[in-house]
Amino acid sequence: MPAGLRIEAPDPETMVAFSFDGVPMQGIGGESIAAALFANGVRVFRTMPKTGRARGGFCFAGRCSDCQVIVNGTPAVMACVTELESGMRIETQRGVGEWGGDD
Protein backbone atom coordinates (compact mmCIF):
# COMPACT_ATOMS: atom_id res chain seq x y z
CA MET A 1 0.00 0.00 0.00
CA PRO A 2 1.42 3.43 -0.91
CA ALA A 3 2.07 5.93 1.86
CA GLY A 4 -0.50 8.39 0.51
CA LEU A 5 -0.83 11.08 3.18
CA ARG A 6 1.22 9.07 5.69
CA ILE A 7 4.92 9.62 6.36
CA GLU A 8 5.71 6.06 5.34
CA ALA A 9 3.77 3.20 3.80
CA PRO A 10 1.97 1.08 6.41
CA ASP A 11 2.38 -2.67 6.71
CA PRO A 12 -0.57 -4.10 4.72
CA GLU A 13 -1.15 -6.72 7.40
CA THR A 14 -2.01 -4.01 9.93
CA MET A 15 -4.73 -2.43 7.79
CA VAL A 16 -8.40 -2.63 8.71
CA ALA A 17 -11.49 -1.46 6.83
CA PHE A 18 -13.87 1.17 8.20
CA SER A 19 -16.23 3.76 6.76
CA PHE A 20 -16.64 7.49 7.18
CA ASP A 21 -20.00 8.96 6.17
CA GLY A 22 -20.55 5.81 4.14
CA VAL A 23 -17.27 6.02 2.24
CA PRO A 24 -15.11 2.87 2.58
CA MET A 25 -11.64 3.61 3.95
CA GLN A 26 -8.66 1.80 5.42
CA GLY A 27 -6.52 2.57 8.44
CA ILE A 28 -4.03 0.94 10.74
CA GLY A 29 -5.80 -1.08 13.41
CA GLY A 30 -5.13 0.50 16.81
CA GLU A 31 -4.16 3.94 15.56
CA SER A 32 -6.42 6.78 16.62
CA ILE A 33 -9.54 7.37 14.58
CA ALA A 34 -8.25 10.91 14.03
CA ALA A 35 -4.99 9.62 12.52
CA ALA A 36 -6.88 7.25 10.25
CA LEU A 37 -9.20 10.01 9.08
CA PHE A 38 -6.33 12.40 8.39
CA ALA A 39 -4.52 9.67 6.45
CA ASN A 40 -7.63 9.35 4.29
CA GLY A 41 -7.81 13.09 3.64
CA VAL A 42 -10.67 13.84 6.06
CA ARG A 43 -10.25 17.19 7.81
CA VAL A 44 -13.74 17.92 9.19
CA PHE A 45 -14.91 15.63 12.00
CA ARG A 46 -17.80 17.66 13.44
CA THR A 47 -19.74 20.89 13.20
CA MET A 48 -20.54 23.18 16.12
CA PRO A 49 -24.08 23.10 17.61
CA LYS A 50 -24.83 26.84 17.43
CA THR A 51 -22.72 28.16 14.57
CA GLY A 52 -22.41 25.09 12.34
CA ARG A 53 -18.71 25.85 11.91
CA ALA A 54 -16.45 22.94 11.03
CA ARG A 55 -14.01 21.39 13.48
CA GLY A 56 -11.32 18.80 12.84
CA GLY A 57 -9.52 18.48 16.14
CA PHE A 58 -7.43 20.94 18.13
CA CYS A 59 -5.55 19.45 21.08
CA PHE A 60 -5.28 15.78 19.98
CA ALA A 61 -4.99 14.87 23.65
CA GLY A 62 -8.61 14.25 24.64
CA ARG A 63 -9.17 17.70 26.17
CA CYS A 64 -11.11 19.91 23.76
CA SER A 65 -13.87 17.83 22.10
CA ASP A 66 -13.21 19.34 18.66
CA CYS A 67 -12.69 15.85 17.26
CA GLN A 68 -16.02 14.31 18.27
CA VAL A 69 -17.49 11.87 15.77
CA ILE A 70 -20.31 9.32 15.78
CA VAL A 71 -19.03 5.73 15.95
CA ASN A 72 -21.43 2.86 15.31
CA GLY A 73 -24.32 5.15 16.25
CA THR A 74 -22.78 6.53 19.43
CA PRO A 75 -22.16 10.30 19.38
CA ALA A 76 -19.44 12.29 21.13
CA VAL A 77 -16.65 9.76 20.59
CA MET A 78 -13.28 11.50 20.82
CA ALA A 79 -11.50 10.56 17.59
CA CYS A 80 -8.07 11.56 18.90
CA VAL A 81 -8.05 9.11 21.80
CA THR A 82 -10.16 6.24 20.43
CA GLU A 83 -8.46 3.34 18.69
CA LEU A 84 -9.56 2.39 15.20
CA GLU A 85 -11.15 -1.05 14.94
CA SER A 86 -12.12 -3.11 11.93
CA GLY A 87 -15.63 -2.42 10.66
CA MET A 88 -16.19 0.84 12.51
CA ARG A 89 -18.95 2.98 11.01
CA ILE A 90 -17.76 6.53 11.66
CA GLU A 91 -19.85 9.58 10.82
CA THR A 92 -19.52 13.34 10.98
CA GLN A 93 -21.10 14.66 14.17
CA ARG A 94 -23.41 17.57 13.44
CA GLY A 95 -24.05 19.64 16.55
CA VAL A 96 -24.36 17.39 19.57
CA GLY A 97 -25.08 14.38 17.38
CA GLU A 98 -27.89 11.87 17.52
CA TRP A 99 -27.93 8.34 18.84
CA GLY A 100 -28.25 6.03 15.86
CA GLY A 101 -27.61 2.53 17.13
CA ASP A 102 -27.19 -0.59 15.09
CA ASP A 103 -30.83 -1.73 15.54
For the segment 49-88, give every residue that binds ligand FES (CB under 6 A). 57-60, 62-67, 78, 80
Residue 92, exposed/middle/buried by CB under 10 A (0-12, 13-18, 19+)?
Answer: middle
* Shortest Å, Cβ 63 to ligand FES: 5
Q: Which residues contact 36 (CB under 8 A, 6 or more apart)?
A: 18, 25, 27, 28, 84
- Region for 65 from its dihedrals, namely left if φ exceeds 0, alpha if ψ lies in -120 to 50, beta otherwise: left
Tell me whether residue 9 or residue 96 sits nearer to ligand FES (CB atom): 96
* Shortest Å, Cβ 87 to ligand FES: 22
* Shortest Å, Cβ 78 to ligand FES: 5
Which residues of this chain interact with ligand FES, rule CB under 6 A? 57-60, 62-67, 78, 80
